[in-house]
A and B are shown apart, each in its own frame.
Chain A
Amino acid sequence: MFATLLQATGAGDKLVTPEVPWSHLAPQLILVVGATVGVIAAAALRGRLRRSVGAVGAAVVAGAAIVSIIPLWHRVSNPAQGPISAVNGAIGVDRFSLFVTALLCAAVILASFTAEAYLQREGLDGPEFSLLLLLAAAGGSVMAGANDLIVMFIGIEVLSLAVYVLAAMHARRISSQESGLKYFLLGGFASAFLLYGIALTYGATGTTSLLRVQSFLAERVLTDDGLLLGGLALMLVGFAFKVGAVPFHMWTPDVYQGAPSPVTGFMAAAVKTAAFAGMLRVFVVGFASYADLWRPVVGALAIASLVVGAVMSVVQTNVKRMLAYSSIAHAGFVLLGVDAASAEGTAASLFYLAAYTAMALGTFAVVTVVGGSGDGAHTLDAYRGLGRRRPGLALAMSLFLLAQAGTPVTIGFLAKLGVIRAAIDADQWALAIVAMLTAVISTFMYLRIVVAMYFAESESESDDRGELRIPWGVGVTIGVAVIATLVLGVVPGPLEHLSDDALPVLVAVDGR
């Protein structure tokens, strides 16, 4: 067997090794190399670094990645050159992958500033936290650019492994350990589903390259497509788990509640963004010819997520659990854009993800502050009277919550408008109506928190349990998120312009 293999490949011949265009992979390389160098520096200078060095370092690396995206964006936008397919068609560099990468890097910057204050307060080890954020962003960036299902799987694993560790980072808190373990076990299951789906797809089409899957399905009609449908269904399960869509959402409340608050914000913003990027690329582009079959399923997932997310969030008393269910509802909204299976739907999904990244990171930055020492004060009671104690903080929180509810003049309204418009353009009236109704139900839950902050009398007068200090890191995150939520809510043009351009495409390898 081995001898025949050697014969088949022609032993001794030069193998054709793929060309690696390093400059086109600059964002991913910067993130990975930055994280690797950081790990070594952290180990070598153990204990001699100040905690803030990790956060600032991660922000600098992520910022450098964003800067490296700008020339690539211009190169890819140039009609004479167009999108790139790198490393023998494994990774695509198009405006879609660059947009998502920039979004992930922005999430890393904001999350690591929040985390800086958190680590200081909880007395946790510094740099690893921020470095894992960088690795997670690198994995998400690979997912966004993956032109091959196996590369997609590698990306999702790099992202997930980093986030499993992040969820368990506060190792002294038992709930953080529980959160990490739960996420790890269920996430492992989801990865297995995804991988088996990839295997079945390979069995049906004979390739894992999305481009070749696409052209294979465009050229012929399968008489017996059971294998392919099974693969599609399993891959959908894997992605639906990662984005936290009902009925694969069971882990979300527990994991979001137990994970350290800055990590929860990152999970809501970046992990969802990366998973949706993978989903858009695989389903909307790769399996476009099967859209008639997967669209009803995605639509059902969207309706279930919207309804369950909105209804369950109303009955919670823990703010982190409320926000977890609200993130499920937000996933439902983004699924609306996926379900549209159109260019408008993809652009609307990306805009929604960008908006949710700003809102979620801002919200969880406030939650980090209110959580207090030990990261335990997350009941609705902890928010009572916040409007009197810290008016600025309460005002920022109210803004983020109202934006999530979809109030006009904020970015949240435009995001919801975009996906609902895409659903209506795709003749999905039922979906659009369900989305609008559940948005009303969610609003009640957001207003409950606002009311608790401003109008509720605190029952006990032990209300003044210490001053809530706002460290500079959290201040930066909240400030940036407020500006993004308001300014982009009034002047959405630039972001809309970018997300409209950022469509995923599959291109053949140059010259082959």
Chain B
Amino acid sequence: MSSASDFLREYLTVLILGGVGAALVGLLLGASHLLRPARRQPGKSLTYESGVDPVGTGWTQSQIRYYVFALLFVMFDVEAVFIFPWATRLEAYGGFGLVEMGIFVFILLLGLVYAWRKGVLKWV
């Protein structure tokens, strides 16, 4: 048995699991569709807004002025991805790890300083 087909065989498990999952969802939704009573009313097809009558249409433009904050958030999110595993092994990495992480955080902070100086942190 070659390693490549072993490798593919392991994916067969994933395939079977996926198939079972899809069949289960189909079965449950199909059964409820068959069993439940269907009485169509216009009110039922309205957008649900916690009981309040909906205002306007669903196709409105929303301002994306906070996208820069989202970008900065991603930056620090990724930083956290690296810091957490590093923190669990802090002693093992020793001084080298501390300095290295310091440089890493410093470079990311430079990005924040740059964004701040460019005025993107002001709410417009």
Question: Interface on chain A toward B: helix, strand, loop, or mixed SS?
Answer: helix
Q: Within the complex, which residue of A12, A17, A46, A226 is in contact with B118, where a contact is CB–CB below 8 Å? A: A46
Is there contact, CB below 8 Å, between A43 and B92?
Answer: no
Residues of A within 8 A of B5 (CB): 224
B76 contacts partner chain A, Cβ-Cβ < 8 Å:
no
A21 contacts partner chain B, Cβ-Cβ < 8 Å:
no
CA distance A46 to B116 in the complex (A): 12
Q: What is the interface size of chain A, counting residues whose CB is below 8 A from a CB of the partner?
A: 20
Q: Within the complex, which residue of B4, B89, B114 is in contact with A40, where a contact is CB–CB below 8 Å? A: B114
CA distance A15 to B86 in the complex (A): 12
Is there contact, CB below 8 Å, between A226 and B92?
Answer: no
Q: Within the complex, which residue of A9, A12, A17, A224 is in contact with B2, where a contact is CB–CB below 8 Å? A: A224
B3 contacts partner chain A, Cβ-Cβ < 8 Å:
yes
CA distance A227 to B5 in the complex (A): 10
B107 contacts partner chain A, Cβ-Cβ < 8 Å:
yes
B42 contacts partner chain A, Cβ-Cβ < 8 Å:
no
Q: Please tell me the size bucket of the interface on B.
A: 10 to 19
Q: Please name the residue on chain A nearest to B1 by beta carbon.
A: A224
Residues of B within 8 A of A204 (CB): 4
CA distance A158 to B97 in the complex (A): 23
Is there contact, CB below 8 Å, between A43 and B114?
Answer: yes
A54 CB to nearest chain B CB (Å):
15
A464 contacts partner chain B, Cβ-Cβ < 8 Å:
no
B94 contacts partner chain A, Cβ-Cβ < 8 Å:
yes
Q: Within the complex, which residue of B2, B107, B117 is in contact with A44, where a contact is CB–CB below 8 Å? A: B117
Q: Mark B28-42, 1 if CB is under 8 A from A, else 0.
A: 000000000000000
Residues of B within 8 A of A12 (CB): 91-92
Q: Within the complex, which residue of A17, A44, A46, A226 is in contact with B94, where a contact is CB–CB below 8 Å? A: A17
Q: Please name the residue on chain A nearest to B96 by beta carbon.
A: A17
Is there contact, CB below 8 Å, between A224 and B3?
Answer: yes
Q: Please name the residue on chain B nearest to A43 by beta carbon.
A: B117
A438 contacts partner chain B, Cβ-Cβ < 8 Å:
no
Q: Mark A43-58, 1 if CB is under 8 A from B, else 0.
A: 1101000000000000
Residues of B within 8 A of A17 (CB): 93-94, 96-97
Q: Within the complex, which residue of A13, A44, A46 is in contact with B92, where a contact is CB–CB below 8 Å? A: A13
Q: Mark A150-192, 1 if CB is under 8 A from B, else 0.
A: 0000000000000000000000000000000000000000000
Q: Within residues 107 to 124 of chain B, which ones have a CB less than 8 A from any CB in chain A?
A: 107, 110, 113-114, 117-118
Q: Within the complex, which residue of A11, A36, A44, A203 is in contact with B7, where a contact is CB–CB below 8 Å? A: A203
CA distance A36 to B110 in the complex (A): 8
Residues of A within 8 A of B89 (CB): 11, 15
Residues of A within 8 A of B7 (CB): 203, 227
CA distance A204 to B97 in the complex (A): 32
Q: Mark A24-47, 1 if CB is under 8 A from B, else 0.
A: 000000000000100110111010
CA distance A15 to B113 in the complex (A): 33
Residues of A within 8 A of B118 (CB): 43, 46
B115 CB to nearest chain A CB (Å):
8
CA distance A9 to B88 in the complex (A): 13
CA distance A509 to B2 in the complex (A): 32
Residues of B within 8 A of A40 (CB): 110, 113-114
Q: Within residues 2 to 22 of chain B, which ones have a CB less than 8 A from any CB in chain A?
A: 2-5, 7
A14 contacts partner chain B, Cβ-Cβ < 8 Å:
yes
Q: Within residues 80 to 96 of chain B, which ones have a CB less than 8 A from any CB in chain A?
A: 89, 91-94, 96
Q: Within residues 210 to 237 of chain A, which ones have a CB less than 8 A from any CB in chain B?
A: 223-224, 226-227
B45 CB to nearest chain A CB (Å):
36
CA distance A42 to B114 in the complex (A): 8
Q: Please name the residue on chain A nearest to B94 by beta carbon.
A: A14
CA distance A39 to B111 in the complex (A): 9
Residues of B within 8 A of A223 (CB): 2
Q: Please name the residue on chain A nearest to B106 by beta carbon.
A: A36
CA distance A395 to B107 in the complex (A): 47
CA distance A334 to B92 in the complex (A): 47
Given known contacts A43-B113, A46-B118, A224-B2, A36 and B94 CB-to-CB distance under 8 angstroms: no
CA distance A9 to B91 in the complex (A): 13
Is there contact, CB below 8 Å, between B110 and A39?
Answer: yes
Is there contact, CB below 8 Å, between A15 and B93?
Answer: yes
Is there contact, CB below 8 Å, between A227 and B4?
Answer: yes
Is there contact, CB below 8 Å, between A226 and B113?
Answer: no
CA distance A40 to B117 in the complex (A): 9
Is there contact, CB below 8 Å, between B114 and A11?
Answer: no
Q: Please name the residue on chain B nearest to A19 by beta carbon.
A: B96
Given known contacts A13-B92, A17-B97, A224 and B117 CB-to-CB distance under 8 angstroms: no
Is there contact, CB below 8 Å, between B2 and A15?
Answer: no
| The 5 A-B residue pairs with the shortest CB-CB distance in the complex, in nearest-first order | A43-B117, A224-B2, A224-B4, A17-B96, A43-B114
Q: List 25 A-B contacts (CB under 8 A).
A: A9-B92, A11-B92, A12-B92, A13-B92, A14-B94, A15-B93, A15-B94, A15-B97, A17-B93, A17-B97, A36-B107, A36-B110, A39-B110, A40-B110, A40-B113, A43-B114, A43-B117, A44-B117, A46-B118, A223-B2, A224-B2, A224-B4, A226-B4, A227-B4, A227-B7
Contacts A17-B97, A223-B2 known; list 5 others, CB within 8 Å: A14-B94, A17-B93, A43-B118, A44-B117, A226-B4
